[in-house]
Amino acid sequence: MKTAPFDYVRADSVADALAALGSADDARVLAGGQSLLPVMALRLATPELLVDISRCPELRTYRREDGVLTVGAAVPVRTLELDPAVGGAHPLLVRTLRLVAHPEIRARGTLCGSLAHADPAAELPALLLATDGEVEVAGPDGPRRVAAADLFTGPFGTALGEGELVVSARLPLPAPAARWAVDEVSRRPGDFALAGVVCGLELDGAGRCSSARVVLFGVAGTPVRAAGAEQLLLGERVTGAVLDAAAAAAFDGVEVVGDEVHASADYRRRAGRALVRRALAAVAEDRS
C-alpha cells in the first residue's frame, strides 16, 4: 500500500525540528520510521508533514552518567544492542532489545521512537516503566522531563503536547543487588508480544524480597504494573508457593484486552500469569 501525500523536512538540529513541527497542523517526527511508516502505508496515520531528525548531531549520542544511561532520539536500537559498554552497564536493556522485531528493523528503529509510538505490545515502554525511567522532551514551552508512569496514556497515546519532541530517554542503571528478567510470548520470533513481562527483585541478607517490580505488556492499553504480584512478594522468601501466589495475583485490577485475530483476553491472562511465574523464578534463581 502507498502512503497519503506528505511534505518532508530534514532537520539539522533540535531547534530546526521544533520550528518545522510548529509549521504544520499535523506534523510527525521521523527517526527510524520503523513504526510510523507502516501505519502511514495502511492510512491509519496521514500526517501532512514528516520532520526527519535522524541526522541531528545532538540526538545521535548516548552516554552513561550518574547512574543513568541517556540515549538520544536518533540512536538506532542495534547500535545500543551491539555496544559492549551498554551491555555491561545495562544488561536488561540489551536483553530487551534482542526481543524487538528483527536485526534489520533494529538497525534503523530507535528506542525513543518506540517510546513515542507507545504500542502497548512493545517491549521498550515496559522496560522504561519497570526501571522508573523517563524521557526528556523539547517543545514550544521549553524542555521538560516526563516519567514513564505519566508518559503512556493509552494505546499509541502519550502525554506529549502539541509540537513537542522526545529528545532522549533516561534509563536508570540496575542496582548491583537487583536481578532482572524479561520474557514474552509471540506467534513467531520478532512478532509483537501477545503477552510479556519485565520483572526485577532485590533480596536482603536473609533472602527476603526487599524490592519487587513486575510490569506487564501486550495485555492492556498501556504497559502496566502488576501491583498485586509486587505486594505479595515484598517481605517474603521467594519460595515456589510465593511465586505461585504472585503469578495468580499479577492481573488483579488489570483491564485485559483481547480480540478475535491475535489473542483473547482469557489467553493473554493465562499466558501472562505463566510468564510472570517463569520470569520471577529465573530472577530468584539468578538465571536471568
State the CATH number of the domain containing residue 30. Answer: 3.30.43.10
In a domain, 1, yes or no: no
Write down the pLDDT at residue 1.
Answer: 72
Write down the pLDDT at residue 287.
Answer: 44
Boundaries of domain holding 29: 7-52
- Contact by Cβ (8 Å): 36, 116: no
Q: Are residues 195 and 256 in the same domain?
A: yes
Residue 90: phi and psi, rounded to 5, are -140, 70
In a domain, 85, yes or no: yes
Separation of alpha carbons 73 and 120, rounded Å = 20
Residues with Cβ within 8 Å of 154's Cβ and at least 6 positions away in sequence, in order, are 221, 222
Q: Which residues of the chain register pLDDT less than 50? A: 287-288
Of 172, 196, 213, the one marking the end of a domain is 172
Q: What is the pLDDT of residues 58-78, one digit of tens each?
A: 999 999 999 999 999 999 999
Nearest to 273 by CA among 253, 252, 248, 255: 248
- Name the packing angle between helices 240-249 and 265-284 (round to 10°): 150
Residues with Cβ within 8 Å of 156's Cβ and at least 6 positions away in sequence, in order, are 117, 118, 119, 120
In a domain, 229, yes or no: yes
- Contact by Cβ (8 Å): 279, 272: no
In a domain, 2, yes or no: no
In a domain, 194, yes or no: yes
pTM flag (> 0.85): yes
CATH of the domain at 211: 3.30.390.50
In a domain, 106, yes or no: yes
- Number of structural domains found in the chain: 3
Write down the pLDDT at residue 190.
Answer: 92
Q: Are residues 36 and 72 in the same domain?
A: no
Write down the pLDDT at residue 45.
Answer: 94
Here the cell at position 141 is: 514551552
